[in-house]
Amino acid sequence: MGTGWELTQALREKIYLYASYPQTSVSIRQMVQFGPNPSPGSIFLASQFIVEELPIRLALKVKDLENAPLGLSKQPSTIKVKNWYAQSFEELTSLPKPKIDEKLKKLLYSNNGNGARSVSDIEDKHEVNETQNLAQQQSNDVAVNNVFSDDGIVVRHHPHTQQTGARSTRSRSEAPTYGKTYFTPCPMNIVWPKEVYDYNKLVHDALSKIKKRHDATVATMAQGVSEWKTEHKIVSVNSAIQTFLDRFYMSRIGIRMLIGQHIALNMSQQSPTKQRINTFLNGSSGNSNQGAKNGRNNYVGVICTDCNVKEIAEDAAETAKYICEEHYGLFEAPEIQLIAPQESISFMYVPGHLIHILFEVLKNSLRATIEFHTPRLKEQLLKENPGMKESDVDLNDLKFPPTKVIISEGFEDIAIKISDEGGGIARSEIPLIWTYLYTTVDKTPVLDSDGNNQTSFRAPMAGFGYGLPISRLYAQYFGGDLKLISMEGYGTDVYIHLNRLSSSSEPLP
C-alpha cells in the first residue's frame, strides 16, 4: 500500500491550490434523486462531479494534517494518514477526462421531458449561492467547530484570522465544481454508449481503491494521538487536539459518505440489457423499480429510504453480544432487551451509520455491566455457597442484569435510549468520555507496521478511546445528536437522536 510513493513538492503545491477552493455540499435530497435504478447518464455526470469535488476535500485533509497542532503533525501515524490522502488526491486528479462528443452531449444535456439540465443551466446564481451558504451556515456547528463540548456545556470557537485564513480564499467561481450539482436527471429509457459505462467503471474502480486505502484511517489517527500523548507525557484533555480531531473525523465521514454512495450507485446502475427489458416491459417511461434487486428497492446507494430502526438495533445488539462473548469467553453475553412501543418505526437514513452508533454504545454497556457486576455477583455466589472457592466461580454462572434499548418516534426525530446497570460514570469523568485521548483500558491495541489494523475491521471490546466521540459525530452529521446521563454506582443512559433526513445537508467545516 503506497510502497515507494512520496509526496513531491510539485504535488504539494497542487494540493495547496485545491485546498484553497471552496467545497460544494451535497444534500441528501440530491443523493436519493438517483432512485434505486440510476440512469448511467446521471452516474456519468455525477462521476465527473465527484472527480472534481473529492480532490478539494482530500487536499483540505492533507493541509489540515500538515498543520495539525502541538506537534501532532510530526507523529509517524499522522504522516502515514496524510500520505494516504495525498496519494488518493494524486490518483483522482490523474484520471483521464471523458470525451463528450455532440451526440453524447445531446443525450446528457437535452431537455427531453425528463427534466435534464445542462451544466450551464445549473449555473443559476441562486443555486450556487445556496450551496455556498450551506457551508457558511455550518461554521458554528458544535460538531465541526468546537473547542470543547460535553452534555450541557458547549464552548464554541470564535472566528479569528488564523481560523478563517486556513480555509479557502479563492472565489467560488474558480472552483472546479462551480455551478455543478451531484445529481442531474438523464433519460432512463435509452441504451447509453460504451464511453459512459467505461468512464463510470474507471471512477468506480478508482474510488474502490481509495476507500480500501483509507479503511484504517480512524485507528491509525488514534495511534497518532497515542504517539503524541506518549511523547508529550500528556494525560489531561487538550482542547486544541480535541477540536482538530472533531473536524478531521467529521470531514472524513463526509468523504466516506460521498465515496460509499457513489460506489453503491455505480453498482446499481442499469445495464444495457436491463434497460432493454425495462423499456419492453414498462414502455418509454422505464422508471419501474422492477429492475432493482429483490429487497433493495428501498435503497438508493447506501441510503435506505425505509430504514427499519428495530431491525438495525437487533443487528447491532447481536454484533455487540458476539464481540462481548469472544472477549470475555462467555457462552452468552448479558441480555439486551428491545422495547419499541410503536413496533414498526421506519425513516430515511444510512443503516451503516446507525448500526455503527448503536454497536459502539451497546458494546460499552455490555462491558460496563460485566466489569461492574462480576465482583459483586461472585461475592454473592460465594456467600450462598460457603464450600465454594473463588477459583471455582465461572463467569458463565453469573446472571447479569439486562441492557434496555427503547425506541421512540417523534414528529421531529427518532429517539433511542440505551439504559444499562453498569455502575455509571463519575461526574468528573463525563467530560473525558467525549475526548479522543481517554480510555479506561490499560493497554491500547497496537497497529501493525503497515497500518493494517485488524481491530478496525473486527472491533475490539475497547481500547482506542474514540468509539463514543465518533459515534456522536455520526449522529450529528445528519443533524442528530448523542447525549449521555449517568448515575454513578448504578448505570448510564445514552440518548441517540436521529434527524429525519429530508431536510439534511452536509456539515462542511
What pLDDT score was predicted for residue 465?
Answer: 67
Answer yes or no: are the C-beta atoms of 203 and 266 closer than 8 Å: yes
Pick the closest to residue 270 from 179, 189, 164, 369 (CA basis).
Answer: 189
Q: What is the CATH number of domain 304-446+458-499?
A: 3.30.565.10
Active-site pick, 278, 364, 453, 499? 364
SS3 labels along 61-94 = HHHHHHCCHHHHHHCHHHHHHHHHHHHHHHHHHC
Q: Which residue type is seen at 77?
A: S
Identify whether 356 is a catalytic site residue.
yes
**Apex 110 CA angle, 109 and 111, nearest 5:** 115
- Which range scores top for mean pLDDT: 163-177, 214-228, 266-280, 349-363? 349-363
Half-sphere exposure of 337 (CA within 13 A, CB side): 11
Active-site annotation holder among 80, 145, 146, 360: 360
What local confidence, expressed as pLDDT, does residue 280 receive? 52
| Correct CATH for 9-110+174-268 of 2.60.40.10, 1.10.357.10, 3.90.1150.10, 1.20.140.20 | 1.20.140.20
Domain range list for the chain: 9-110+174-268, 304-446+458-499
Asked if 310 is an active-site residue, the reply is no
Extract the C-alpha cell encoding 74.
Answer: 510530526
Q: How far apart are CA 47 and CA 96, in angstroms?
A: 12
158 is catalytic: no
**pLDDT tens, position by position, 368-414:** 999 999 999 998 988 888 888 887 888 888 999 999 999 999 888 99
Locate all alpha helices (DSSP H) within 125-238, ordered by sequence: 125-137, 161-165, 194-213, 217-232
Count of residues in the chain: 509
> Residue 157 — very low, low, confident or very high, per pLDDT cuts 50/70/90?
very low
- Return the number of other C-beta atoms located less than 10 Å from residue 147's C-beta: 14
The DSSP symbol for 501 reads: G
pTM metric for this prediction = 0.81
pLDDT tens per residue across span 73-121: 999 999 999 999 999 999 999 999 998 999 999 889 875 444 434 333 4
Amino acid letter, residue 134: L
Catalytic one of 356, 373, 404, 506: 356
pLDDT at 436: 82
Cα separation, 367 vs 328, in Å, equals 9
Catalytic annotation, pick one of 63, 262, 321, 363:
363
Closest CA to 168 of 136, 142, 143: 136
Helix axes 239-268, 467-477, angle to 10 degrees: 60
Same fold: 9-110+174-268 with 304-446+458-499: no
Residue 364 designated active-site: yes
- List the single range of 130-134, 178-182, 293-297 with lowest mean pLDDT: 130-134
Say if residue 272's pLDDT is above 70. no
